[in-house]
């Protein structure tokens, strides 16, 4: 049967206490609404309709180009009113109602819901909560058949003791939904058009209401404040950590691991505490990551070791390399195999060849470094004259003495040696020693100044 999805996302989210529309707050690095749209897409519906209202400009800007239909609800007069804004196509088919602030709902749960819904049957996702306060309660008759949903504010004391609550998520026949929407009224405690009133209408019209029970609370939990946002973030990270452990990754502490994107892992990967990964990350076999490391959009080959406190941003690292501690690889860094990048070394937009070592306190930017190169401590490629950037080329086997400045554009030839403390402004020929250094002198009769007598 044809499926159309409606995502309600017009609410303000006052309790977030934020200028950012609620559905744009992120969980696992992605806006809440994105989670919901992506889950909906997996069901391959005919259309995904997003009802938006508060923060319209920001929401539309963030999702421009996404294959969804935007439906404005200028004034938020209730969940039923929100659904009324969508022009439903004629004929049969199923409409699935989702919420932009319920991000962790699983595809499998929705599939169960869709299997239950039919042209003469409504499927409602419910959950049992120890503390149901605030939610709409599911009212059943003596035979256990659902009769209606009563909102907290309209509920009697007896109804308030019901622990089965409405998640708001439902799949229902489009043909009937259209009729029921026309019949909604707002004569209730909140003066709103409640979508939940369609349940009682279905019962009246002889349409069976079946419930599907959600497996866990997190899945159907909406986010209304920053505490709930943090709670769901942890639940999400925990489930991602479990997936990785199931794939064989050793996580020293799954509660101190954050993945805000996707990671592809090889065998026997070890990840220490407080590692954050963002974007798309690929880790080869036997990769070891030390504590407090940030890795974003990177490909890390087999047997690489990334030591504590390193930042890897948009970089590729060849097999068997050792990075850090305290190394920073910036966008455009491509390291071949067996490289050693040590502490307080920053590399940007540079290629480094096989087995080269840059072990201490250096900056290498806009450079092409060959294989077997040794760059001494404190070497700087001066790539920027304040206006333009220039390239440094260091050919295979070169040795750069400590505290050297290579003023680009400049080339250091094959197997050339640069004497420590040099400022190199012209190309250094291959195989030779090049240095620029003022002569060392010794002053024979020099005496250290004496401490002046302070008391007079
Ligand atoms: C709703 C349900 C309640 C259920 C609960 C689950 C109704 C009447 N009640 O209550 O039974 O237990 O969700 O969380 O449906 N929204 C719009 N436009 C509107 C109003 C709401 O887009 O005019 C969106 C909100 O942005 C939000 C969602 O719909 O994402 C739910 O609205 P909210 O007002 O929070 O409903 P609840 O009172 O929580
Ligand atoms: Ca709510």
Q: How much is the pLDDT for 346?
A: 98
165 Cα–ligand 1 center, Å: 13
Q: Evaluate the omega torsion of the peptide bond into residue 290 and state whether it is cis, within 30 degrees of 0.
A: no
Q: Looking at 129-228, which runs of residues are DSSP E strands?
A: 137-140, 146-150, 164-173, 208-213
Q: How much is the pLDDT for 218?
A: 93
186 Cα–ligand 2 center, Å: 18
Task: Name the residue of 59, 73, 79 to mutate for ligand 1: max ligand atoms within 8 A of Cβ.
Answer: 79
Backbone dihedral angles phi then psi of residue 419, each to the nearest 5 degrees: -65, 145
Alpha-carbon gap, residue 53 to 71, rounded angstroms: 9
CA 8 to ligand 1: nearest atom: 22
Answer for the pair 148, 139: CB distance below 8 angstroms, yes or no: yes
Residue of 284, 275, 281, 285 whose CA lies nearest to 253: 275
Ligand nearest to the backbone CA of 9: 1
Residue whose CA is at the smallest distance from ligand 1 atom 26: 11
CB burial of 418-438 (b: ≥16 within 10 Å; e: otherwise) equals: bbebbebeeebeeeeebeeee
Q: What is the 3-state secondary structure (H, E, C) of 108-156?
A: HHHHHHHHHCECCEEEEEEEECCCCCCCCEEEECCCCCEEEEECHHHCC
83 lines ligand 1 (CB under 6 A): no
22 Cα–ligand 2 center, Å: 11
Q: How much is the pLDDT for 456?
A: 62
Q: Which two tokens stand for residue 199?
A: 């349940």
Answer for the pair 79, 98: CB distance below 8 angstroms, yes or no: no
Q: Which two tokens stand for residue 245?
A: 């452990």
- Tens digit of pLDDT for each residue in 94-127? 999 999 999 999 999 999 999 999 999 999 999 9
Ligand nearest to the backbone CA of 102: 1
10 lines ligand 1 (CB under 6 A): yes
Alpha-carbon gap, residue 88 to 173, rounded angstroms: 11
Alpha-carbon gap, residue 179 to 446, rounded angstroms: 103
Answer for the pair 177, 129: CB distance below 8 angstroms, yes or no: no
132 lines ligand 1 (CB under 6 A): no
CA 82 to ligand 1: nearest atom: 18
Active site residues: 360
59 lines ligand 1 (CB under 6 A): no
Ligand nearest to the backbone CA of 135: 1
- Tens digit of pLDDT for each residue in 328-347? 999 999 999 999 999 999 99
Ligand nearest to the backbone CA of 138: 1
Q: How much is the pLDDT for 306?
A: 98
Q: Which two tokens stand for residue 454?
A: 């302070």
Alpha-carbon gap, residue 307 to 319, rounded angstroms: 15
Alpha-carbon gap, residue 54 to 165, rounded angstroms: 27
Task: Name the residue of 35, 162, 168, 188 to mutate for ligand 1: max ligand atoms within 8 A of Cβ.
Answer: 168
165 lines ligand 1 (CB under 6 A): yes
Answer for the pair 55, 24: CB distance below 8 angstroms, yes or no: yes
Residue whose CA is at the smallest distance from ligand 1 atom 37: 135
Answer for the pair 92, 175: CB distance below 8 angstroms, yes or no: yes
23 lines ligand 1 (CB under 6 A): no
86 Cα–ligand 1 center, Å: 16
Cβ neighbors of 404 (< 8 A, separation 6 or more) are 376, 378, 379, 380, 418, 420, 421, 422, 423, 424
Answer for the pair 292, 274: CB distance below 8 angstroms, yes or no: yes
Alpha-carbon gap, residue 294 to 117, rounded angstroms: 45
Give the H or E element holding residue 313. Answer: strand 311-313
Which of the residues in the chain have pLDDT under 70? 455-456
Q: Give the three-state DSSP class for 187.
A: coil
61 Cα–ligand 2 center, Å: 24
Residue of 103, 90, 96 whose CA lies nearest to 3: 96
196 lines ligand 1 (CB under 6 A): yes
Long-range pairs for 205-210 at CB < 8 Å and ≥24 separation?
205/176, 207/120, 207/121, 207/122, 207/173, 207/176, 208/120, 208/121, 208/122, 209/121, 209/122, 209/124, 209/145, 209/146, 210/116, 210/121, 210/122, 210/123, 210/124, 210/146
Give the H or E element holding residue 38. Answer: helix 32-41
8 lines ligand 1 (CB under 6 A): yes
Domains of the chain: 3-220 (3.90.550.10), 247-434 (2.160.10.10)
102 lines ligand 1 (CB under 6 A): no
Q: How much is the pLDDT for 215?
A: 83
């Amino acid at each position: 049967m044809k499926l159309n999805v409606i995502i309600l996302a017009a609410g303000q989210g006052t309790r977030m206490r934020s200028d950012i529309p609620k559905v744009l707050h992120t969980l696992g690095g992605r806006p809440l609404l994105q989670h919901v749209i992506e889950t909906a897409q997996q069901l391959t519906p005919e259309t995904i309709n997003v009802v938006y209202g508060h923060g319209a400009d920001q929401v539309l800007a963030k999702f421009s180009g996404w294959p969804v239909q935007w439906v404005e609800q200028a004034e938020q007069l209730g969940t039923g009113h929100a659904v009324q804004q969508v022009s439903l196509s004629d004929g049969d088919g199923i409409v699935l109602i989702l919420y932009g602030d319920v991000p962790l709902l699983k595809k499998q749960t929705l599939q169960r819901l869709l299997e239950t819904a039919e042209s003469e049957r409504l499927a409602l996702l419910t959950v049992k909560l120890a503390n149901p306060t605030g939610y709409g309660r599911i009212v059943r008759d003596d035979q256990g058949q659902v009769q209606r949903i009563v909102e907290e504010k309209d509920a009697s004391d007896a109804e308030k003791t019901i622990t089965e609550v409405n998640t708001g998520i439902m799949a229902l026949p489009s043909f009937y939904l259209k009729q029921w929407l026309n019949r909604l009224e707002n004569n209730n405690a909140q003066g709103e058009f409640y979508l939940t009133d369609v349940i009682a209408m279905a019962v009246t019209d002889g349409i069976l209401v079946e419930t599907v029970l959600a497996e866990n609370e997190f899945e159907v939990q909406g986010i209304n404040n920053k505490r709930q946002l943090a709670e769901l973030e942890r639940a999400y990270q925990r489930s991602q950590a479990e997936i990785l452990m199931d794939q064989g990754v050793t996580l020293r502490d799954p509660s101190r691991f954050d993945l805000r994107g996707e990671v592809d892992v090889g065998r026997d990967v070890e990840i220490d505490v407080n590692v954050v990964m963002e974007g798309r990350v690929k880790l080869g076999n036997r990769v070891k990551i030390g504590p407090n490391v940030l890795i974003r959009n990177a490909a890390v080959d087999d047997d690489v070791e990334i030591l504590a406190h390193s930042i890897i941003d948009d970089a590729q690292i060849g097999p068997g390399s050792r990075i850090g501690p305290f190394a920073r690889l910036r966008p455009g860094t491509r390291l071949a195999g067996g490289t050693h990048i040590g502490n307080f070394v920053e590399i940007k937009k540079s290629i480094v060849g096989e087995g080269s070592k840059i072990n201490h306190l250096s900056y290498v930017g806009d450079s092409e470094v060959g294989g077997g190169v040794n760059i001494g401590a404190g070497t700087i490629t001066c790539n920027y004259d304040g206006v333009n950037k220039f390239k440094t080329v260091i050919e295979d086997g070169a040795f750069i003495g400590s505290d050297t400045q290579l003023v680009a554009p400049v080339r250091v030839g094959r197997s050339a040696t640069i004497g420590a403390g040099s400022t190199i402004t012209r190309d250094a020929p291959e195989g030779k020693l090049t240095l620029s250094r003022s002569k060392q002198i010794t002053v024979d009769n020099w005496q250290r100044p004496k401490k002046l007598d302070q008391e007079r």
